[in-house]
Amino acid sequence: MDMLAILMTIGVSFLLAVILGPLCIPLLRRLKFGQQVRTDGPQSHLKKSGTPTMGGIIILLAATVAFLRFSDKTTEFWVLLVGALGFGLVGFLDDYIKIALKRSLGLTAKQKLFGQLLFSLIVCVLLYQMGHSTAVSVPGTSFSLDFGWFYYPFVIIIFFGTTNAVNFTDGVDGLLSGTSAIAAGAFTIIAMQATEHESAVFTAALVGAVLGFLIFNAHPAKVFMGDSGSLGIGGGLAAAAILTKTEILLVLIGGVFVVEMISVILQVGSFKLRGKRIFKMSPIHHHFELSGWSEWKVVTVFWAVGLVLATAGLALYRIGGG
């Protein structure tokens, strides 16, 4: 794998995001695509109301252009594009309906489910056409289990779980930008070791794009990525994990996202069953905010945890013969 091509991909996507930021943010502000802040959340977030959102467009545009420039346009190329842009489109429609059309709930649950299922199925068809292995490896070992036709429902579960987990993580300035850059960086290393060129280039493009976006998204954020960014990132990471045959390892590398999702499930389940909340607020990053942590402390701690988990994931990959 050509390291120079990977570094150039990161650099190009980073520069594109930095250039697109000052162009898109004023436009989003003029269009009044401002964030609606939850009144039951941390009081410090109320001043963020009206901050431009849907900034995920910046990430997806920058990453896609860089990916187009350095990829080989194989079938894997389409799997990654459908994963990122397909789910990004679902997020964009949800954002647009909530903000531009003033429908607070955005897409209905059925509409969002349909969109996510549609793009997951398209990926499944592409995987079948390219003869993608249906075996799933056990991290840290040389063992694998062939799922056969059950692999495709498994792929759908991976997309649904990853995109929603990543979406839950977006809620504090710079939190998702940093953690997703770390996860994408880990998959870039894995893809390079697996000589999976398309995945390496795509995740490298994602690293550059989210780091460029972080310049405008770090506290105090000038723009939020919205569902268009979080769902697009989640779809891209899921596609990369599938192509590099690290489907289960995604749970560890994306451990921060998993914890965020589990905190929501536990909170909702506890309230419905017992009428009591486990956390002061979910997702769990809000719990720490309401416990007195500053936004910057929440972000840096979660970044550090994400880095440790990604490093552990890479170590397991190497142990398993990657």
Binding residue ranges for Mg(2+)? 167, 227
Strand partners, 145: 136
Helix-strand-coil percent breakdown of the chain, rounded to 5?
A: 70, 0, 25
Binding-site positions read 167, 227
Alpha-carbon dihedral angle through residues 297, 303, 306, 311, given to the nearest 10 degrees: -120
Q: Is 275 exposed, middle or buried (0-12, 13-18, 19+ CB in 10 A)?
A: exposed
Dist CA 121 CA 126 (whole Å)? 9
